[in-house]
């Protein structure tokens, strides 16, 4: 049995897991930093990297302890080294390299977006490849063609904000907390999604697999001002309804764009299968809407449970594919903050 320690520090979660080549999870720990970034309404890169430095060793120790695995029993160390926040990525990479050097273990670099899609393979326990991948989180809104776990081509992404980022910014405008996605989803349950007419950017451009959420965010801001209310000063019975209606209207607009473009990508590739990952995939209304579209258009849909949608190290089990193929990385492996395809 191959045992790999996987490390994940691409954004604001410090995570580690010991996984096997049979996709068993021997132990996994995630330390969230939500409380540190809450008052800023978004992830502050400098705070994130400093918190990773404090947490990375305890998280690795706890993971090994839960797994009942000694460092000497590992076969490799894997780390997500792309894409993500530079300072955050560096902490995980340096920890991984140090363990490799000290314990004479091979190093495997992981593409974080590939890992998000691989979470569907782990959760469903069937071969989900080839498939279209939709990764929607605070940092990403990507549609990718996945011919196999490691063969991955970008189909399109966002021209500006990521979907989760738009959720977070609109939540902040509405005086809801951080992270904004769950707050908007909760508020939207009591709201009327047709009250505000919001744009669905690019949805009617049939040949473009792209998103744009910046204009939608501005439209929300404009309609809030247009209704005579100041941002951050929404309170009282009537205003609570306004917040709920705007949350529902905004959520519906984002979902229409995500579902529409994901379905287009599935149609264009002819793969007949969509795998979804990233924090926004936790959204119940998005899940329902994707499921309805999958049924209508007759494609298979995989959305892992919440713990495998948000950032975690279990999805680092994709490293077992590299291990099997004998593809290791040198100890001078670097990070790559942006999408390199």
Residue numbers at the binding site for ligand KG4 (CB under 6 A): 11, 137-139, 164, 167-168, 179-182, 185, 278-280, 282-283, 310-311
Least Å distance between CB 112 and Zn ion? Answer: 6
Closer residue to ligand KG4, CB minimum distance, 76 or 318: 318
d(CA 236, CA 250): 21
Closer residue to Zn ion, CB minimum distance, 247 or 275: 275
Closer residue to Zn ion, CB minimum distance, 64 or 280: 280
Least Å distance between CB 13 and ligand KG4? Answer: 6
What's the CA dihedral at 221, 224, 226, 229 to 10 degrees?
-130
d(CA 32, CA 16): 12
**Residue 135, Cβ density class (10 Å: 0-12 exposed, 13-18 middle, ≥19 buried):** buried
Closer residue to Zn ion, CB minimum distance, 30 or 220: 30
Closer residue to ligand KG4, CB minimum distance, 138 or 316: 138
Q: Which one of the spans 34-42, 49-57, 132-140, 196-204 is the region binding Zn ion (CB under 5 A)?
A: 132-140
Q: Identify whether the C-beta of residue 234 lies closer than 8 Å to the C-beta of residue 173.
A: no
Contact of residue 119 among ligand KG4, Zn ion, none (CB under 5-8 Å per partner type): none
| Contact residue for Zn ion among 9, 33, 114, 137 (CB under 5 A) | 137
Residue 33 near Zn ion by CB under 5 A: no
Least Å distance between CB 20 and Zn ion? Answer: 23
What's the CA dihedral at 4, 65, 86, 44 to 10 degrees?
150
**Residue 39, Cβ density class (10 Å: 0-12 exposed, 13-18 middle, ≥19 buried):** exposed
Instruction: Report the largest interatomic distance among the alpha carbons of the chain, rounded to a whole angstrom.
Output: 64
Using CB under 5 A, which residues numbered 283 to 322 contact Zn ion? 311
d(CA 225, CA 99): 54
Closer residue to ligand KG4, CB minimum distance, 84 or 149: 84
Least Å distance between CB 332 and ligand KG4? Answer: 26
What's the CA dihedral at 191, 193, 196, 200 to 10 degrees?
140
Least Å distance between CB 164 and ligand KG4? Answer: 3
Positions that interact with Zn ion (CB under 5 A): 137, 311
């Amino acid at each position: 049995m191959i045992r790999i320690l996987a490390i994940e520090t691409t954004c604001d979660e410090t995570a580690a897991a010991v996984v096997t080549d049979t996709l068993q999870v021997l132990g996994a720990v995630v330390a969230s930093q939500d409380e540190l970034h809450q008052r800023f309404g978004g992830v502050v890169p400098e705070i994130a990297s400093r918190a990773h430095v404090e947490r990375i060793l305890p998280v690795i120790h706890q993971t090994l302890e839960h797994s009942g695995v000694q460092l000497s029993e590992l076969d490799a160390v894997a780390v997500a080294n792309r894409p993500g926040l530079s300072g955050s990525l560096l902490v995980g990479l340096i920890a991984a390299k140090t363990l490799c050097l000290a314990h004479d273990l091979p190093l495997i670099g992981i593409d974080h977006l590939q890992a998000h899609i691989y979470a569907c393979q782990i959760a469903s326990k069937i071969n989900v490849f080839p498939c279209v991948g939709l990764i929607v989180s605070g940092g990403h809104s990507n549609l990718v063609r996945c011919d196999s776990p490691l063969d991955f081509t970008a189909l399109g992404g966002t021209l500006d904000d990521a979907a989760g980022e738009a959720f977070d910014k609109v939540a902040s405008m509405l005086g809801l907390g951080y992270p904004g996605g769950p707050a908007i989803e909760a508020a939207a349950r009591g709201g009327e999604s047709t009250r505000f007419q919001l744009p669905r950017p690019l949805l009617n451009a049939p040949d473009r697999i792209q998103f744009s959420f910046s204009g939608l965010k501005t439209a929300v801001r404009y309609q809030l001002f247009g209704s005579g209310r100041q941002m951050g000063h929404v309170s009282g019975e009537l205003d609570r309804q306004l917040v709920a209606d705007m949350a529902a209207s905004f959520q519906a607009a984002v979902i229409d764009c995500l579902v529409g473009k994901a379905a287009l990508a599935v149609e264009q590739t002819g793969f007949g299968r969509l795998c979804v990952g990233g924090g926004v995939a936790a959204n119940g209304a998005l899940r329902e809407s994707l499921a309805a579209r999958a049924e209508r258009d007759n494609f298979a849909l995989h959305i892992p449970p919440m713990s495998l949608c948000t950032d975690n190290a279990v999805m680092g089990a994709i490293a077992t594919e590299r291990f099997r193929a004998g593809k290791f990385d040198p100890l001078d492996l670097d990070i790559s903050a942006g999408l390199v395809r």
